[in-house]
Amino acid sequence: MKAHVTIMPKPSVLDPQGAAAAEAMKHLGLESIGRVRIGKVVEIELPNGVDEARLHEVARDLLSNPVIEDYTIAITAGA
Amino acid sequence: MKFAVIRFPGSNCDQDCVHSLNAIPGASADYVWHKDSSVNGFDAVVLPGGFSYGDYLRCGAIARFSPVMEAVKNFASEGGIVIGICNGFQILCESGLLPGALVRNRGLHFICEHTRVRVERPNSRLTSAAATGQILNIPIAHGEGCYFADDATLAALRLNQQILLRYCDAQGRVTPESNPNGSRENIAGIRNAAGNVFGLMPHPERACDPVLGSTDGLALFESLLAK
């Protein structure tokens, strides 16, 4: 089992990294793109299954900062 | 007044804090390792600048769970004075001891320069030795110093007089041009609602000796020493 925690900056937070990446993409010829946001993915192997509530706690307390970020969790079976 | 300067793996402004505080009459400072579980015997706690845990995940995100932080939180809840400088400010926000968060500088660059901050509220233990509108010349050195808080939090900070320092120009005007990192409302330093926990991005410990170009940091430390 694996969990993928995706952490993105909240829409209200300025993301200068995303803006810089968007500029670079336009420079490479991708002119018709909209807003670009950059977040992070934390991949967690769960060999013994998962307590989802606990996972959400960890996602809220450690992996993300709820003041500036939102997170989602996707759990997949298999390696 | 005895200051505990906490050392996390990656802290690098701890020596400057201890050096500068020890040089102030009436103050002394000593190191406390992040794995210690007590800050007993100290009158104030300093979380110094640096790159605790390499800024991994987010600045201060891992340091907030260091064993010593339990003692620091208890110390703060009992009214003890806690000052977070730069990475220390980030750790205090991550741990919820201060509201808001510090994010990447708007211009994406790491900025290392002297900057001016305006004292907004002299009636705090960090600024009582200064006057409202007084301009302090104190260096900053950070890549993630942009203070963010949502509108409701900002309104509360204003209402409770928690904003202590704002980036300003040479005339003391708080302007977008004088904002080095995009902080909302040019906020450079705040206190908690109870008035015993402080966070600021500038480094007062680097502005205590004329050989470093400014002694304006002394105004902040001496405020803490005043009765």
To test the contact with chain A by mutation, choose from B58, B151, B153 the residue with the greatest count of A C-beta atoms within 10 A, namely B58
Average pLDDT over residues B151-157: 97
Determine contact, residues B163/B185, Cβ cutoff 8 Å: yes
Catalytic (active site) residue B203: yes
B127-154 mean pLDDT? 97
- Give the number of A-B residue pairs with CB atoms closer than 8 Å: 37
For every residue of chain B, which 3-state class applies, written as one string? CEEEEEECCCECCHHHHHHHHHCCCCCEEEEEECCCCCCCCCCEEEECCECHHHHCCCCCCCHHHCCHHHHHHHHHHCCCEEEEECHHHHHHHHCCCCCCEEECCCCCCCEEEEEEEEECCCCCCCCCCCCCCCEEEEEEEECCCEEECCHHHHHHHHHCCCEEEEECCCCCCCCHHHCCCCCHHHEEEEECCCCCEEEECCCHHHCCEHHHCECCHHHHHHHHHCC
pLDDT in tens, B68-121: 999 999 999 999 999 999 999 999 999 999 999 999 999 999 999 999 999 998
How many Cβ atoms from other residues are within 10 Å of residue B74's Cβ?
12
Best B59, B92, B104 residue to mutate vs chain A (most A CBs within 10 Å):
B104
How far apart, in whole angstroms, are the C-alpha atoms of residue B146 and residue A13? 11
For B35-73, the pLDDT digits (tens) are 999 999 999 999 999 999 999 999 999 999 999 999 999
Catalytic position from the list B13, B17, B59, B86:
B86
pLDDT value at residue B68: 98
Q: Which residue has the tokens 């009158």?
A: B43
Q: How large is the average pLDDT for residues B210-221?
A: 97
As a whole number, the mean pLDDT across chain B is: 97
CA distances from A48 to A32, A76, B46 (A): 45, 13, 41
CA of A34 vs chain B CAs: smallest distance (Å): 19
pLDDT at res. B227: 66
**Measured between CB atoms, which of A16, A63, A65 is closest to B106?**
A16
pTM of the model: 0.96
- If you count them, how many residues does chain A have? 79
Please check whether residue B105 touches A, CB under 8 A: yes
Q: Is the pLDDT of residue A78 over 80?
A: no
Q: Least CB-CB distance to B106: which of A12, A14, A62?
A: A14
So what's the pLDDT on residue A79? 60
